[in-house]
Amino acid sequence: MSAIPVILVHWNRPAELAATLAAFRRQTAAVRFVIVDNGSPPPALAEARRAGPDAEWLELPANIGFGPGMNRGLNKWLADPAAGEWAILAPHDALPEADCVERLLAVASARERAGLASAEFGEPRKPAYHWLKGPCETHAARGAGWEPAAFPNGTLMAVRRACLSAVGVFDERYFAYTEEYDLARRARAAGWEVGLVWGAVVKNPMRAASSRIAWYLLIRNQLLAVRDTGGRGVALLLTLRLLVSALLRKVLRRSARSEADGAGVRWRAILDFWRGRFGAPPSNMS
């Protein structure tokens, strides 16, 4: 088998990228790297390039987001029919176990209609969808091999060429977070299978989002995913749920400063969703 393309999106985290490249170099399957740099500052980009001298680099002038950045790598891969049936996608901080890629592709390739597949975190959880919450995780007893899932987790996923050729790449309105659910929604609608492969394990110590930007994107994109799946009525119900939650937090008077900041992020995300403002987060949010 020829080397599997691994498309990584990097932004301003050269040390984490170096650890990710080292983990992929230890894979029992042969891999090759395509790294999309999302407008990192020059010193960080130079350090990152030193960590990946064996990679093909696509350097973007600005941070256009995870999904749009990944699309640049995906479009290059899709344009070359000889580049293989499968590609692996990951951010700059994914740490797969040594047999992760081999296990993932062995199981997914054996299923004729498998279009999207992801690794697991070594925990009894899998990606799911709740009609009111949107994309989420749910408890699932760890098994062996393939298990259907609502979407592949974006920490490490495999995509099939025929699937993306049929349904397209990531929706760039999302910028970052939840775009993998939207891709899976379209894939399932076109008759492709989406699943998790137990035993193909990846670690991601940084996967818990805590910044104001991450929180904004998660709320706004959650609303977008719910609307595109269930309609405006369900999006309205989720909006009311978010507002009630904010009111309860205010009544309980948790840390006044953090609650003020949190309420501002929540309101901005909700307003931007209903105004149809998608893509990059507001420039004045940090």
Burial state string for 189-222 with b = 16 or more CB within 10 A and e = fewer than 16: eeebbbbbbbbbbbbbeeeeeeebbebbbbbbbb
Query: Is the Cβ–Cβ distance between 66 and 91 less than 8 Å?
Result: yes
At 285 the pLDDT is 78
At 248 the pLDDT is 74
d(CA 62, CA 72): 13
Residues with pLDDT less than 70, the chain = 1, 206-210, 249-262, 286
**In this structure, are strands 86-91 and 4-10 parallel, antiparallel, or unpaired?**
parallel
At 246 the pLDDT is 73
Structure tokens at 111: 């299923």
Vertex 265, ends 152 and 251: CA angle to 5°? 110
At 249 the pLDDT is 67
At 211 the pLDDT is 85
Structure tokens at 22: 């080292």
At 177 the pLDDT is 96
Q: How many CB atoms lie within 10 A of CB 79?
A: 8
Helices 232-252 and 256-275: angle between axes, nearest 10 degrees: 170
Burial state string for 17-28 with b = 16 or more CB within 10 A and e = fewer than 16: bbbbbebbeebe
At 206 the pLDDT is 67
Q: If you count them, how many residues does the chain have?
A: 286
Task: Indicate the SS3 state at residue 93.
Answer: coil
Task: Indicate the SS3 state at residue 36.
Answer: strand
pTM above 0.85, yes or no: yes
